[in-house]
Amino acid sequence: MTTPGLTSTGVRKASAKSARSRSREFALQALYQSLVGRNETADIDLFTRDLAGFHKADSAHYDALLYGCTEQAADLDKLIGPLLDRKFAEISPVEHATMWIGVYEMKHCPDVPWRVVLNECIELAKEFGGTDGHKYVNAVLGGLAPQLRPHEVDADRKAGRARI
């Protein structure tokens, strides 16, 4: 039996997704192209905006994620790298891009609670990544949350809501 709004694999159905969730999906696809194809960000952006359903996404958030992650890729990787148990070359581009999105949002989108960032990235990894990729994304982003959002994480711990 499936839960309403979820597929049989536990991923949210497209009809249940918010504009912001959709923007993350399109940003993930664009960042994947950046990592794998090494294409210019502006070219990837034009291509992505033509994809079916883009009009339902939060285009401002998509812009922030795509351009922010590509422009700050080295800085994002410096934060992610110490939590990895392997080289970046051995990480799936989907998980890599998902972690970029999570770190970028934790650093630059204070309007999005850290637990929402973490959950959204886990969902992206479940939907687009490998079988256990979401566990890896969860471990890395969960490990960075206390560093990037110390006050929020501490407040959640004190309230008994954070399990990191």
> How many other C-beta atoms are found inside a 10 Å radius of the C-beta of residue 4?
6
Distance of CA 77 to the CA centre of its chain: 14
pLDDT at 2: 46
Domains, the chain, ordered by start: 17-158 (1.10.940.10)
pLDDT at 159: 83
pTM (two decimals): 0.86
Distance of CA 16 to the CA centre of its chain: 18
Classify each residue of 64-85 as buried b or exposed e, where b means 16 or more C-beta atoms within 10 Å of its C-beta: bbbebbbebbeebeebbeeebe
10 dihedral zone (left: phi>0; alpha: psi -120 to 50; beta): left
Under DSSP, is residue 87 helix (H, G, I), strand (E, B) or coil? Answer: coil
pLDDT at 99: 97
pLDDT at 160: 74
pLDDT at 130: 87
Dig out the tokens for 38 from the structure.
């090494």
pLDDT tens for the chain, 164 residues long, are: 444 555 544 544 555 788 999 999 999 999 999 999 988 999 999 999 999 999 999 999 999 999 999 999 999 999 999 999 999 999 999 999 999 999 999 999 999 999 999 999 999 999 998 888 999 999 999 999 999 999 988 888 888 765 55
Classify each residue of 119-142 as buried b or exposed e, where b means 16 or more C-beta atoms within 10 Å of its C-beta: ebbbbbbbbbbeeebbebbbebbb
